[in-house]
Amino acid sequence: MAQALREAYQAGEDDETLEPRVLVDRQGKPIGRFRDGDYVIFYNIRGEREVELCHSLLDRDFPHFQVEKDLNFRKESIMPRILMIQGSNMNLLGVRQPEIYGTTTASELDKMMNDYAKAKGFDLEIFYTNSEGECIDRIIKAHYDKVDVLVMNPGGFTYAAYSIRDTIKGVKIPYIEIHLSNHYDRGIHSVIAPAANGVIMGLGIQVYFQGLDAALYLAGKKR
């Protein structure tokens, strides 16, 4: 495969026009089927394309790969993994007090963030919960799943969720806290913020993207 790629570049083919190469085994015979235990390795590939290819491999209905039934595919990626938690009442974005929190809906924001993750090349999971216990469980799961960074808008958890603060401190996951409005202007105090590496607030929807950028910075420091 490496020789085929070298020859292609020498012939003037670039990343956009490179024709597919056939995978072969050690005897030079074409491999036409993915089997359990096989690895697919991507070299020098943009993050969003890696995500698309991995999704294709995991999709049983994708017609262009021959995949044996019930294979245990898993993705092992060097891309940063970021968990975005939307806390209490954040599912009401665009509905609840738009004069403070704006008119962008939760579904619109989700699409914007997923598009941003695709463009930047990182894995993003967005999790909504109005339950403090569910939030704690998801943070603990993130620790065992080896998520790189947690970003959270605590929403209604901001005022009294000491247990969420203690969980973040306990699992030692890097954490960026975000708030749409300026808490200093509104006289609000976050009891979770002492567990954060940084807090971004007061810039409306932009705090989400600045929070994700800060998360990427923290993830880069870990690697």
Which residues are marked as active site? 101, 179
22 Cβ partners below 8 Å, 6+ apart? 30, 31
Enclosing H/E stretch for 84: strand 81-88
For residues 183 and 202, give the distance between their C-alpha atoms in angstroms, rounded to a whole number: 7
Query: Buried b / exposed e across 174-184, counting CB within 10 Å, b at 16+?
Result: bbbbbbbbeee
For residues 86 and 126, give the distance between their C-alpha atoms in angstroms, rounded to a whole number: 7
Q: Helix, strand, or coil here: 80? A: coil
For residues 107 and 91, give the distance between their C-alpha atoms in angstroms, rounded to a whole number: 9
Enclosing H/E stretch for 171: helix 162-171
What would the two tokens of residue 37 be? 């235990």
In 69-195, where does DSSP find H-type helix?
Answer: 98-101, 106-120, 132-144, 162-171, 183-186
